[in-house]
Every structure is written in structure tokens, then in C-alpha cells.
Amino acid sequence: MRVFDSSDIRNVALVGHGHSGKTSLISAMLFAAGATDRHLKADEGNTITDFDEEEVARKLTITSAIASFAWQKTKINAIDTPGYNIFLSDTRSALLASDAVAVVLDGVAGVEVSTEKVWGFAEEFKLPAALIVNKLDRERSSFERTLESVHERFGRTAVPVQSPVGSEKNFAGIIDLIRMRSYSYKPGDGKAAEGDIPASEKERAEQLHEALVEMIAEGNDELMEEFFATGTLPVEHIISGLQDAVRQRRIFPVLCSAASQAVGADLLMNFIPEIFPSPLQRPEMAARQNGNEISTGITASGSPSIFVFKTSADPFAGRVSYFKVMSGAVKDDAHLTNMRSNVSERLAHIATPFGKTLQPITELRAGDIGTVAKLKETLTGDTLCERANCVTFRPIETPEPSIGYAISAKTRNDEDRLSTALAKILEEDRALRFYRDPQTKEFLLAGNGQQHVEVVVSRLKRRYGVEVELKAPKIPYRETIRGTAQVQGRHKKQTGGHGQFGDCWIRMEPLPRGEKFQFVNDIFGGSIPKQYIPAVEKGILEAAEHGFIAGYPVTDFKVTLYDGSYHDVDSSEMAFKLAGRKAFRAAMQQAKPALLEPIMAVEVETPIDFGGDLMSDFNGRRGRILGMDLKGSMQTIRAQVPMSEMLNYQNDLISKTQGRASFHMEFDHYDYVPAPQADKVISAAKAHMQVEEEE
């Protein structure tokens, strides 16, 4: 592919709800542009942008992918993004590389849950947006009904620039409401035949044209005067006015397509360079320069700099970094410095992405998207540039995972390779976390949902030959006290030589939740020598780690050491440590021990229709509703729920809301376990300890 100037580049992310047809639409665009020799369809599992083995197997987009191709005098970098809730963090990251957004709608379903979320992403980054009503050839599809749902959710600034000819199986073409021309298609051909607007559609097309012209003129004084004077606007003024209105986010054009038949793809590719802005016109982004916070955009001049917005782990090519050129021009074999790691990186064999195929190129100019393999110390979110006067761009903040699972290798051989394989996957997917729970001693893999984690497990096996087992994590219960106690801990043992003697008196009392442990030395008069006091504390802590009623660590208690005695010969650190242990156990018997459980802060985003059922469900899970927020047709429910009640929540939420709701969960605090549940936990823990002792 030849080198394109910044003004001739368009970076467009196709976003929308899962199965709205984003991947199929990009495939239709590639076919219409001659970049592929046939129309590859998503349901056949062989598209350019869904090439990952998991995407092919599951027939859905899991990670964003890019197909770069030339259309007339423009280079279009089309970014295919995930549409399901659990993978939307990748979609949000991909918008850093985009200069405009095409929101793809299912012409049957209309605006769906993820549609509203990705619309919010576009608002967050202040990106120009258009909407594409897709699948207009399907049964029960309706352009008008979908447009109504768009107006209901996003307002009247969503204005058709195209209108369908026919509907459902009789969908035969598209009317361009800017130029007032009609385009008809042969099924699967991908090339439009231009003609006059059919008589049956003439009146409606004129009404939509007039509405479009009025909306364009509304935000521009010069165009408004011209419109009042002549009653319309010439095509060139409609186009220039629409360009400004789209860039300012005053108007969101609505287009038509039927991607499975390659209908409308060529008109979309005409629209992108004509109406969408170039990278040089992108809204400014947050950055730092010389330690100061600034806002800056893409600049064609100056020294070269790139921003890495995505990393993929290729079993053969190794680490592949996807970057956007933020300033200047980057030539093949350039040397740039990573501003985070301060390491000089050689950009050998830069390329433009075409799905999994990387097409070598000699130079990429500001605003363009490229790839480079095998950078040493560069990860997602890094800026690479020449040291002098460098601008560092701020990476996307990835939300914390919502749910974690215990993960263990199936065999010793798998165990040896697991950490290396997971490290590569974690580089690729920043929404994942892998860590060891210090209390349960389990290794946990946390992600945005069960399916997210299952995808990782499948990748471990397919890519790296590592087999693992997933299971629900152990609940990290804790123990505490409700009362106070004053006890003696005395250890005395006489042997043939020196004996062992340690004697301490302690006072134990509860602390506020979250205070963990306090040890106070209140010894006067040397009843216990100073060198033995730390041993008492150590003995208490060791005993607390093994619990008292169910074997879980004891927390939120205070111990005051106020008296004791010692022997000049027989006392030692070990003796006082054992005395501290005995004192702890004696105190726990008197201090009303209790069981604590982790309470999670949960946020559920759901269509309003399901709100009541979900709140009732939380009550059944011993949850406490904290509040609700409404935004359009969506409702956010905030609650606190015990972790033990949330282990199967994802599947239940999917079944209760037909997959239209999503949730986020994080640890909030510990609280007492009610007596009926506590009895069950304690009995199970004692049974487990008995089995371990017998083994």
C-alpha cells in the first residue's frame, strides 16, 4: 500500500451491540473496495477482522481488529470492535485510535443495551458519529421504527442522510438524501447502479431532504440566511455544512445498509472521506509535556511520535504493537524512546494491519495506524518519541474486573508453562487480573465475566497448549470478636536440662471494622523483659492466622500485654511465643468470637423493565439496596451483597435479563455472617479440617 498524507486518512471505528453486523459490514466494504475477491460473511467464520481462533469458534468479536484499505484517493482504517458487555473495555480502548465512530444498529432490534454504552464512549471522547441501520433485508426490520428508537434515546439531531427503497426481503436500494439520487443493487454484488428516485418514494424523500437541509442550516447563520432566501441549499453547501455539523457533534447522520448482501457498503465508503474528519481535525486529547498537563491533537509537522493503543500476542510473531502516529512521520527502522521505560526501541518492519495480515510499508504519516512486532519494553498505553520536547499521551484507564475464578494447572507440565502463557495474555488484555489470594492461597484469574475468563482458558489451551481448571473461588471469611477478655497465657515445661517458662497476661478487645490488629505493651516494672515482648506478639499473630472457630484468620482486635513473669534460666523467646499462643486461645473462648464475610459493592446496569426483578433478587441474596439512577431507558442499581451470594450471579443475570444487563463488583468491607449461614460455614470448615487431619 502506498503512503497517504494525513488529510487523506480516515480512522473509523464500527461500534454497536453484538450481532448488529459490524464485522459483516466491514467485510462488505472490503469486497466493494476490491480489497477481497469475494464477500466474506461473519456467520461463515472466515472474515478478515474476526480471525482469532476464539472469535471463529464462537462467531462473535472478542477483540478489536483493523482492516486498512484504499478507497478512491483515501485510506480507510476500519476498526471492528466487540459489541458484548464483557468485551466493551477493548472497544473503549480502540476509540483512542479512532477519529470518528459509525454506530451500527440492527434494523430489527433497534437501539440495544450496548448501543447506548458505545454511544457514551463516543460522547466521552467527543468523537463525531454516524448511525447505520443495518440488516434492512431481514424479516421484521424497519428503518422507521429503528429511527424512532434512535430519536427516543439520542434526540432529534440524528438525521437521515439516506433512506431505504423497499423493506425486508423487498429492500432493493438506497436513496441519497443529499444529492437526491437513488442506488439499486443486485444481491451480493456490492456495486450500486445510480438512477432517479422511484416515483413511489419521491414524496417521502423530499420531506426527508427538506428536514436534513433545515437541520444543517439551523446551526450556521450564513446557511440559515441562504435557506430562508431560496428555500433550499445547493449540494456543495449541504456537504460543507454537514461536515461542520458532524465534526461539532451537532448532527449525527443516519445511513442504511444490508451487510449480508453488500448493500450500502460503497455508499458508506463514499460518506466516510466526504463527511468524516481527517486525523488532523480530531478533538484534542489529554497529554503531558515537560511535566505539565496539556491537551493536543494530531500534528503533521514536528518530530515523530507514536501512541501504542493495543498489544496482541502472536504465537509466531511474538508481541505485536498497534500504534497511531501522533506527530510527524515514522519511517521503517526508526529508533524512538519509550517514555515510560526510557528504553530506545527500533521499529523494524512497520506495517499496516489487514486483519491478521501485516502489510509492510516504508512510512506512516501523522494520524495513520500501523503495527510493529517484537518491541522490547513497550506495552499498551506507551508513548514512543524523540526525547526532545516529547508529548506523552494519557492511556485509557481500564476498570477493575467484576468477577474472579480460582485457576489451577491440570498437570505439572502445565504448571511450569502457565505463568509464561498467562503473562502474554495479560499483555494483550488489560481488563484481566491474575493474582494470589494471600488468605485462601488460591491463584485467581479475574475478568469482566464468566465468558471473558472462559475465553482466556480456551486461548491457553489453543495457543500455548496449557490446560487449566476453573472453579469458584474460596470465600475469604475472617473471624473476629464481639466482647472483651482478660486472660493468662502460661507455658511451663520441665525437661532434663533447661526448662521452658513464659507467662503473660493480656487484655483482648474488639476494634472497629477494618482496623485489623493492634498490640499495646503496657508492662511496667520489668515483669517481662523487653526482649521477650515481641515474642508474645508474634505468638498471638501466628495463632490468629489459624483462626479459632473455623480456621479463618482473626482480625479487628486489640491486645494489651499488661503483666507476666519470667524465669532467669528457663525463659526464652520460644517460651513466650508459646505463652502468647495460649493466651490468645484462652481469650477467644471468652471474647464472643464471630464469623465475618466479604461484602461486595455491586453495580448493575439494566433496562428499566428488569429493575424490579433484579432488586427482589438482591433481597433474596441477603443484599442491601443503596440507590438507583436513571439514564434514558437504563437503570443503574447499587447494592451491597455478600460475596458468597454472588458466585453464580453472572449466569442468573443473563437469564433474568436476556443478556441485556451488565454488572460490576468489587470488595467493599467485611460484616458479620448471620447465625444460620455461620453455622453452615463453621461445620463445613471443621469437616474439612478433620479430613485433612485424617489424611
Instruction: Write down all domains in the chain, each with its CATH number in brackets.
Output: 6-197+251-281 (3.40.50.300), 285-393 (2.40.30.10), 403-463 (3.30.70.870), 478-591 (3.30.230.10), 596-677 (3.30.70.240)
Give the C-alpha distances (Å, rounded to integers) separating 417 from 105, 316, 317, 412, 492: 43, 17, 19, 9, 50
Cα–Cα distance between 256 and 76 in angstroms, integer?
Answer: 19
Cα–Cα distance between 199 and 165 in angstroms, integer?
Answer: 11
Cell numbers 514512543: residue: 384
Exposed (0-12), middle (13-18) or buried (19+): which is 467, by Cβ within 10 Å? middle
Dihedral sign (CA 527, 530, 535, 540): positive
- Check if the beta carbon of residue 53 is closer than 8 Å to that of residue 462: yes
- Check if the beta carbon of residue 26 is closer than 8 Å to that of residue 64: no
Could you tell me where the beta strands, DSSP code E, fall in 511-644? 517-521, 557-565, 593-607, 624-631, 634-642
pTM here is 0.81
Cell numbers 431505504: residue: 164
Exposed (0-12), middle (13-18) or buried (19+): which is 654, by Cβ within 10 Å? middle
- Check if the beta carbon of residue 492 is closer than 8 Å to that of residue 566: no
Low-confidence residues in the chain, pLDDT < 50: none
Cα–Cα distance between 584 and 591 in angstroms, integer?
Answer: 10
Phi, psi of 59 (to 5 degrees): 55, 50
Cα–Cα distance between 196 and 321 in angstroms, integer?
Answer: 48
Q: What is the pLDDT of residue 77?
A: 98
CA proximity to 195, closest of 185, 204, 209, 187: 185
For 406-423, how does the pLDDT look when each residue is reduced to its tens digit (9 = 90+)? Answer: 899 998 888 888 988 999
Cα–Cα distance between 382 and 245 in angstroms, integer?
Answer: 33
CA proximity to 133, closest of 259, 227, 220: 259
